[in-house]
Chains A and B, each alone.
Chain A
């Protein structure tokens, strides 16, 4: 790609010492002071992340709920206004085309948040399944997304915005305003910590960003820390841990798609040929995406989909896709090309101290 896409905050990042890298066609900050410092600050204080690259759609009009129920796995019958829910878009074969959060804003009125690299695909795919009378709009260009995450995120939130924030529950959101423009505050995130995701017009993004940083409690963080934070929680990343050849059941979400609707791919969503498993590696040396995974005694079983040193744990961790049979094993070897690492199957999350679900007030 010749020209990188930029966010309303790209100039701010560059002017404040961020190391910028290409990500899914976007010029994004990978780090400010360093991934380890930003990771630690988000776990103990609050981190602020520019996530403007992600895509947002609206689905509205008479019949929107039923139409969306035919293409997304979320049960919209039980999704009340002010609540949001995680789920998938599936191929007819049950493979994950994307993971997304659906927000219910009112009767037949939904907001969808999708992955940056899948925005164009998802728009065409969803559009081809909605039918007449339901309006799908891509509002990504008119929507900035900023994540405020960490145990002290609500202290920052209360300083920036008036409101009874302690009443905001996990996977709930409110529509309010900031600097005279609309603002959605959603108690969701990708770090495992207490926090919110903001959606606002690009015009007010820099002001919101700077107000969040003003008290010194929240610090700007890059996508590097976002990746280590999400991996410690075992949250999957589309394109690595989730792919079109992975079903929800294979990814460990077999119980999630409880929608009664006949959504695309439902008949095959519970097929299991492989499994996404969590591996803990005793040392600091990390496994990386595509490294081969072998049972301790046996032939190749699969490969690492995400791997890193886990800053909060002090050792390496990985997610790996292995054959359903091999997934029953406990001990594995990972061939990194440089060495073989011993790995042991474990349960998610890797990091158990996350504050995301903390009860407030």
Chain B
């Protein structure tokens, strides 16, 4: 399940860019690989993010993994629901399981189309 209207990273994050704001999350492939998610560590409101740099981390029952920002800008919203319901990332990775919203400071440079990301996910299997 790779929605065609999103942009992707090789590290399995997605960005939905609407004007000067991006909604960021992890892909269905990523949540499937991680298994049951038990904790998500997100940046504070107002924090600065850089494309390709660390955004936070995510933990499943079995492991902890780093998250990388697909975009550059300032965090304008954090998905507070994940503090008590991190499983939303498993259930709705492209919907209620979003991570942060970012006010863009620059246009992203290295994001992949859905088609290109599909090839990345296939090779990571």
Binding site for B on A (CB under 8 A): 19, 30-31, 34-37, 224, 228, 283-286, 288, 308-309, 311, 336, 338-339
- By the criterion CB–CB under 8 Å, are A224 and B39 in contact? no
A-B pairs with beta carbons under 8 Å apart, 11 shown: A34-B35, A35-B35, A36-B38, A36-B61, A224-B35, A228-B61, A284-B59, A285-B39, A286-B38, A286-B59, A288-B64
Q: Taking each of B38, B41, B87, B90, which has the highest tally of chain A beta carbons within 10 Å of its own beta carbon?
A: B38
- By the criterion CB–CB under 8 Å, are B61 and A284 in contact? no
- By the criterion CB–CB under 8 Å, are B87 and A336 in contact? no
Question: Which residues of chain A are within 8 angstroms of B87 by Cβ–Cβ distance?
Answer: 36
- By the criterion CB–CB under 8 Å, are A35 and B39 in contact? no
Cα A308 to Cα B39 with chains together (Å) = 11
A313 to chain B, nearest CB (A): 12
**Choice from A37, A224, A311, A336 contacting B62 with Cβ under 8 Å:** A224
Is B110 located at the chain interface by the 8 A CB criterion?
Answer: no
B28 to chain A, nearest CB (A): 14
Is B86 located at the chain interface by the 8 A CB criterion?
Answer: yes
Question: Which residues of chain A are within 8 angstroms of B63 by Cβ–Cβ distance?
Answer: 288
| Chain B interface, number of residues (Cβ within 8 angstroms) | 14
Binding site for A on B (CB under 8 A): 35-36, 38-39, 41, 57, 59, 61-64, 86-87, 90
- By the criterion CB–CB under 8 Å, are B61 and A35 in contact? yes
Question: Which residues of chain B are within 8 angstroms of A35 by Cβ–Cβ distance?
Answer: 35-36, 61-62
Question: Which residues of chain B are within 8 angstroms of A284 by Cβ–Cβ distance?
Answer: 38-39, 59, 86
**Choice from B35, B41, B90 contacting A338 with Cβ under 8 Å:** B41
Question: Which residues of chain A are within 8 angstroms of B59 by Cβ–Cβ distance?
Answer: 284-286, 309
Question: Which residues of chain B are within 8 angstroms of A34 by Cβ–Cβ distance?
Answer: 35-36, 90
Q: A36-B87, A309-B59 are in contact. Are A285 and B41 (CB under 8 A)?
A: yes
Minimum CB distance partner of A36 in chain B: B36
Cα A311 to Cα B37 with chains together (Å) = 11
Cα A283 to Cα B62 with chains together (Å) = 16
Cα A339 to Cα B39 with chains together (Å) = 13
